[in-house]
Chain A
């Protein structure tokens, strides 16, 4: 169908600044968030307290960081199923490095400082992501398939490295000079958990990149119409590699934050988190066809999911029902989405 069909479904949507359509749907996510907060505060007096909100936010941070990377990929019209596994593997890599690297020929054990561990872990995530990027950009492997492959490979490597066990005691040791790993997960700046601050920073950075930079525009154009973007001189393969690399790197950030919060790293950490990230992006109003979506919406989506599942825990709903509720919220959000973008593409 032609493009005009978008507005056929909803003629008023095309009239004012296009943002209004976006605001509407973000408004819905915002409305949902309010409903969730109000509902649970009525159900439990412990819900709407500063300390609980901060704790919930530090949980949201994990999903939120993953969801930012997922958004970048989805905006280009792809999907990244590997983020959960990459998150898990990143924790393992960090744990592995924290245990010290034995260099056999010298018979010494090297303990890299925490900053070096962080840098290496992030670089590793970006590297994994750029493999996907190359597969998608140059070898034309559908992103679904490429990232499904990475999902298994990364999980497998994590299990291989640890033999299925968990690295405990990531606190480091004074004598080796590698303490401070728990800073990410436990410390607070001005009373706010570091992980939440990291999320806010990342959201701000990527929000600005998407809205204001040429690279951001390239991402939207690639997802909106790859052929037209190419002919307009947009370096489409570069954009693809970048978004998958960024997604991998952000998954590593989330992996570091999670293992820091737990001061341990297990090979199964982050299992099915990719689904939560996708859900956050979709609830936030992004189109899975690519080309539409914002960081702001995605953040709202992440908070909806995080506050909902924590709320259900607080009021003592069984884990099984939690799953059902989360699923219902996702379907509802996607339903609203397809009403919004009704009919666009087949």
Chain B
């Protein structure tokens, strides 16, 4: 590889506001970064690409003062600097949108945005002023959220918008965005990009991380690729395309697969009959008399915008939400009233959308998380068998290609994408007959995405019924035999695998972009 394209060890132009030189970071025995050079340029977007666990988040946390580097230096405006904390970095004009949301769910949107920076007057906090600014910010992001709603009442995507709004409210000159769009819909992403262009024109420098490569290319000015803690490539926008990124990230080109063929679908496994789900107040129908069937060996994709009712549908099927009316049958058995545990035992499992809230037990290890849904099958005599559990965990790790030092490490030590794989692996290893996946590709890299879809295709071939949701059109057109578009709680269209992106998006009620 031609090393001359890498930034040299001295930042060369005054254009560079922030840079990392030979930055390394180790966590115990894990070397997350092995001496990386990285530059942030004034008023431009630098994108950072890399597989799960490549070290992207770690590098960003170092640049924003969350972590201290094990070795190497950070240079701000040409001067070496050490940040004591993220507050310190923020005071130097650097703020970060974390990959894993860091909002207080019990507090309002307004209080979250101004947390730690409350507008104080003689008479206490000036809530009216905070609210006004909050409304302005949310208006800029074209999101209709009342500043006084509590964060836990918001959809994941809206929470992400709040997180973005909070970072914007600081008015920093360097803004780091670690997967800001993983839960956003296409139109929300468009708005965010408009905001980013606006920030650029005001001279704000941006670091952008995303596994949605095409999307990132729309906004990128410079691309940097990290691989296993090393920087493997750098190029300005003019010199790169999708193929370039993928080649440097994983070394080969991946596609997300095609619908598995060459076998007959079996009987209907999952039958949903006119199911209605209402919101907490009982007034609004989130899922509106929706019916659908999935047969053994069939892969069905549900596409829809945020708020279309996909998550609620899946949570209802999995037993988390009660159906106001309608029936759910699994292999002809009525399971409408069954508990979550009974459904899992019968072979219907859900991989939830929000892995932090619904997927992982943070106080447990990787292995304990992986075996949680399967414990009863690992019991021999009065206890769980250590040997069986070990085998089970090893299998799950191999199957879902989790990149982990040891299954005995805490789950929080994994990179975001690998945590997602653990959630999938946990439910997958219960040997389900029907699997529901809510945005299974959230936060995982293109290689892992291909892995997940390959896993789904493989499962289907063995007779598994698969139902997954996505808000990325590209992912509809991968392994799914059938694509269902949901809009306002109802099915608005149904397509075969030969449909075009534009038709899917039109049916979802979304303005066609590009």
Contact = CB atoms under 8 A, between A and B. Distances in A.
Contact of B413 (A4, A213, A214, A220): A4
Contacts of A212: 382-384
A233 B344 contact: yes
Contact of B360 (A6, A16, A213, A228): A228
Nearest to A4: B412
Contacts of A232: 344, 372-373, 426-427
A113 interface: no
Interface string A1-32: 11110111001101111100000000000000
A14 B357 contact: no
A6 B410 CA distance: 10
A288 interface: no
A15 B413 CA distance: 9
A232 B368 CA distance: 12
B376 interface: yes
A18 B358 contact: no
A193 B55 CA distance: 58
A154 interface: no
Nearest to B104: A346
B384 A225 contact: no
A142 interface: no
A6 B412 contact: yes
Nearest to B413: A14
Given A212-B384, A225-B362, A231-B320, A16 B28 contact: yes
A2 B412 contact: yes
A321 B67 CA distance: 44
B27 A230 contact: no
Contact of B368 (A2, A14, A217): A217
B409 A18 contact: yes
Contacts of B362: 3, 224-225, 291
A31 B382 CA distance: 34
Contacts of A7: 27, 410, 412-413
A295 B357 CA distance: 28
B489 to A, nearest CB: 22
A123 B382 CA distance: 23
Interface string A76-103: 0000000000000000000000000000
Given A17-B408, A292-B363, A231 B413 contact: no
Contacts of A15: 27-30, 409
Interface residues on A, range: 35 or more
A158 interface: no
Contacts of A8: 66-67
A62 B415 CA distance: 46
A212 B375 CA distance: 11
A221 to B, nearest CB: 5
Nearest to A16: B28
- The winner among B30, B101, B368 for most chain A CB atoms within 10 A is B368
Nearest to B411: A3
A8 B426 CA distance: 26
Given A1-B102, A14-B413, A225-B362, A235 B27 contact: no
Given A18-B409, A227-B358, A232-B373, A213 B382 contact: yes
Contacts of B233: none
Given A224-B364, A230-B340, A2 B413 contact: no
Given A231-B320, A233-B344, A14 B27 contact: yes
Interface residues of B, number: 51
Interface in B378-398: 378-379, 382-384
A242 B116 CA distance: 41
A214 B27 CA distance: 31
Given A18-B409, A212-B384, A231 B359 contact: yes
A119 interface: no
Nearest to A223: B363
B242 interface: no
B341 A233 contact: yes
Interface in A273-296: 287, 290-292
B375 A235 contact: no
A258 B314 CA distance: 53
Contacts of A231: 318, 320, 340, 350, 352, 358-359
B356 interface: yes
A346 B115 CA distance: 13
Contact of A12 (B28, B67, B410): B28
Contacts of B339: 235
Interface in A178-218: 208, 212-214, 217-218
B365 interface: yes
Interface in B303-317: none
A158 B359 CA distance: 45
A220 B411 CA distance: 14
Given A212-B384, A346-B104, A14 B363 contact: no
Contact of A291 (B345, B358, B361, B379): B361
A336 to B, nearest CB: 18
B451 to A, nearest CB: 22
Contacts of A56: none
B494 interface: no
- The winner among B344, B358, B411 for most chain A CB atoms within 10 A is B358
Contact of B98 (A2, A217, A228, A233): A2
Contacts of B411: 3
Contacts of A224: 361-364
A17 B405 CA distance: 11
B388 to A, nearest CB: 12
Nearest to A75: B363
A2 B102 contact: yes
A55 interface: no
Given A218-B375, A228-B359, A229-B372, A2 B384 contact: no
A88 to B, nearest CB: 33
B37 to A, nearest CB: 23
Contacts of A218: 375
Nearest to A208: B383
B361 A18 contact: no
B131 interface: no
A127 B226 CA distance: 59
A234 interface: yes
A14 B404 CA distance: 13
B100 interface: yes
Contacts of A18: 365, 408-410
B341 A228 contact: no
A6 B365 CA distance: 13
A229 B30 CA distance: 29
B27 A11 contact: yes
A225 B98 CA distance: 21
A218 B378 CA distance: 13
A230 B368 contact: no
Given A2-B98, A3-B356, A18-B410, A214 B363 contact: no
Sorted nearest first, the 8 A-B pairs with minimum C-beta distance are: A15-B28, A3-B412, A291-B363, A224-B363, A224-B361, A2-B100, A233-B344, A232-B373
Given A6-B412, A220-B363, A225-B363, 12 more contacts: A1-B102, A2-B102, A3-B362, A7-B413, A8-B66, A17-B408, A212-B382, A212-B383, A213-B384, A223-B363, A228-B361, A230-B320
8 contacts: A3-B411, A3-B412, A14-B28, A18-B409, A217-B368, A217-B384, A231-B358, A233-B373
Interface of B: 27-30, 66-67, 98-102, 104, 318, 320, 339-341, 344-345, 350, 352, 356-365, 368, 371-373, 375-376, 378-379, 382-384, 408-413, 426-427, 430
